Structure 1
């Protein structure tokens, strides 16, 4: 066995989290410990020259060499939570989900991978994606590039009832909500920010002929938007108040801007104030049935009453 093959063998042992000891390697290859030391020195130099995220460290307690990573690592606990969240999202096709999980697992040592695999095995086996069946990883990355470069694009888009339309937009943010990815984009024709489901985009082309420009003040702040929007329903921004008899924490979590402004211990209720877009807020409030009573603003209360009457009319 020549020196290059021997060094590759040693490096393969190191990169798979094995401890290597000079004496045992010398016996394995039938060479002197001095030659093994030379191999280890060359491996250390290779790591330095290639700017790899490792360092070769000697463990005095065990009397051997190990590779240690020099970059920030993700713990097995954090990785398990990430995989659980991705599985619960149901957003990716089975093929993309499997590739994503396998890629994430490669970030941790094999021993940790072997701990996680049995935990997620059942949920992974029964994974059921949403029905659109569209691959998303590449298009979400592509749209993110257009956002960072502030490029105007023309998309072919399939609307809710399968109608195909063409839209020229300036993408400004990518948001995930309720199983779907959305691109928030400014549409100059309608002079407003609109939400487009990424899986319904059939074709994208950069549009150099009709560039859309927006000032920094006009751009969408996706972090702030996420605090105000629900079910990815746009609408009018308002400050609403509602009396709530349900689990207070659930209401406060649903509206990140919410706060309790009054309490009614005898009724086991609270008064909550929140800032939100009206359409998404209305959808959630109606889903709470008799646990909620909207009190302000007055035009929003009237809208809720009208919607409740329409619901009753169906029965």
Structure 2
């Protein structure tokens, strides 16, 4: 009888200890999530336990965070900072995109038609499998499968991503690039030695923007000075070599890719110019989105007078495509 009572008492004591530990861990968890600093010694005194017990509690919470990372795509980590006087929850980083973000990216990729079918399928598989929260994978796959099945790759059918990375390295290191380039107008292979400054994407293709150094070659281009780069489709670069020689561009004269992007249409190179036209279509927003530098000068009876600053002759192609909705001034 006495042994039975003793056993029962021990079980009650263990249950109380367990409940106390659960309450202690939950309290620590809540305060950490609220951004408070936890002092291990103070917590030990508060709960009447050793500092080692509090350390085990903190480790248990950290283990829980690690397990949740795989499910939620969020990294939480308890760190110690002597200056702050204890343990705290470090900044939260999202490691995965949301279902809606992945779906949007997949749709943009498919619409771009930028890669071969094999490369596109590879990229989409990785995006959906490794970057999408588990509960949304099947839905995202279902929403893109038809478009992926009917995907039509571009006529050049060439792999160029490794080439693009090498060119990117040359840009990063300010190294000259020698290349054999297949011209669009006649298919002839020409040699170029250029200063590569940016990689851009537009209308299905990736492009290299670069400055030509050869004065004889420059003479054949509309570009007449170092202020304006020339543009090359990366898939048309038949051969290339990144040279050891570096070029220098003063910081104040560095190529501003974002500013160039706002002023270039259909990646047709050329001089910087200003255009002015009247627009009488149904969506002036579409014009402003197409021409980021555009400004509405006047609006009268639904007709807008617009000016814009642009590079090259691509703007002529766009203006002609608008038909009667545009009158060039």
> Structure 2-normalised TM-score?
0.67
Matches within 5 A, 1:2-13: none
Q: Report the Cα distance in structure 1 between the residues aligned to 2:324 and 2:278, rounded to whole angstroms.
A: 10
Shift of 1:166: 1.4
Change (3 A) 1:67 1:167: same
Q: Report the Cα distance in structure 1 between the residues aligned to 2:176 and 2:232, rounded to whole angstroms.
A: 15
Question: Residue in 1 aligned with 2:273?
Answer: 238
Matches within 5 A, 1:26-105: 55-56=66-67, 69-70=74-75, 71-72=93-94, 73-105=96-128
Question: Residue in 1 aligned with 2:323?
Answer: 289
Paired residues of 1:260 and 1:271 also in contact (CA < 8 A):
yes
Question: Residue in 1 aligned with 2:37?
Answer: none
Shift of 1:67: 7.4
Question: Residue in 1 aligned with 2:154?
Answer: 130
- Structure 2 residue 249 is the aligned partner of structure 1 residue 226: no
Q: Report the Cα distance in structure 1 between the residues aligned to 2:73 and 2:249, rounded to whole angstroms.
A: 47
Question: Residue in 2 aligned with 1:120?
Answer: 144
Rg larger in 1 or in 2? 2
Q: Report the Cα distance in structure 1 between the residues aligned to 2:322 and 2:308, rounded to whole angstroms.
A: 16
Change (3 A) 1:57 1:254: closer
Bigger mean CA offset, 79-88 vs 148-157 = 148-157
Question: Residue in 2 aligned with 1:173?
Answer: 198
Shift of 1:69: 3.4
Paired residues of 1:93 and 1:133 also in contact (CA < 8 A):
yes
Shift of 1:57: 5.2
Q: Report the Cα distance in structure 1 between the residues aligned to 2:213 and 2:113, rounded to whole angstroms.
A: 33
Question: Residue in 1 aligned with 2:189?
Answer: 164
Matches within 5 A, 1:145-156: 145-156=169-180
Deviation per residue, 1:27-76 (Å, 9 max, x gap): xxxxxxxxxxxxxx9xx89x99xxxxx71359xxxxxx977631422111
Bigger mean CA offset, 108-117 vs 74-83 = 108-117
Which consecutive segments of 4 or more residues in structure 1 shift more than 4 A?
65-68
Shift of 1:218: 2.8
Deviation per residue, 1:216-248 (Å, 9 max, x gap): 233321111110000001122122211011121
- Structure 2 residue 313 is the aligned partner of structure 1 residue 279: yes
Secondary structure of 1:134's counterpart equals coil
Paired residues of 2:176 and 2:244 also in contact (CA < 8 A):
yes
Question: Residue in 2 aligned with 1:259?
Answer: 295
Q: Which runs of 5+ in 1 are unaligned?
A: 1-40, 49-53, 59-64, 296-315
Deviation per residue, 1:122-165 (Å, 9 max, x gap): 10000001110111222222211111111111111111122111
> Structure 1-normalised TM-score?
0.70
Aligned length: 238
Q: Report the Cα distance in structure 1 between the residues aligned to 2:103 and 2:72, rounded to whole angstroms.
A: 24
- What CA RMSD, in Å, does the superposition of the two structures yield over aligned residues? 2.3
Paired residues of 1:80 and 1:116 also in contact (CA < 8 A):
yes
Change (3 A) 1:212 1:80: same
Change (3 A) 1:276 1:57: closer
Bigger mean CA offset, 81-90 vs 163-172 = 163-172
Of residues 164, 179, 184 in structure 2, which corresponds to 1:140?
164
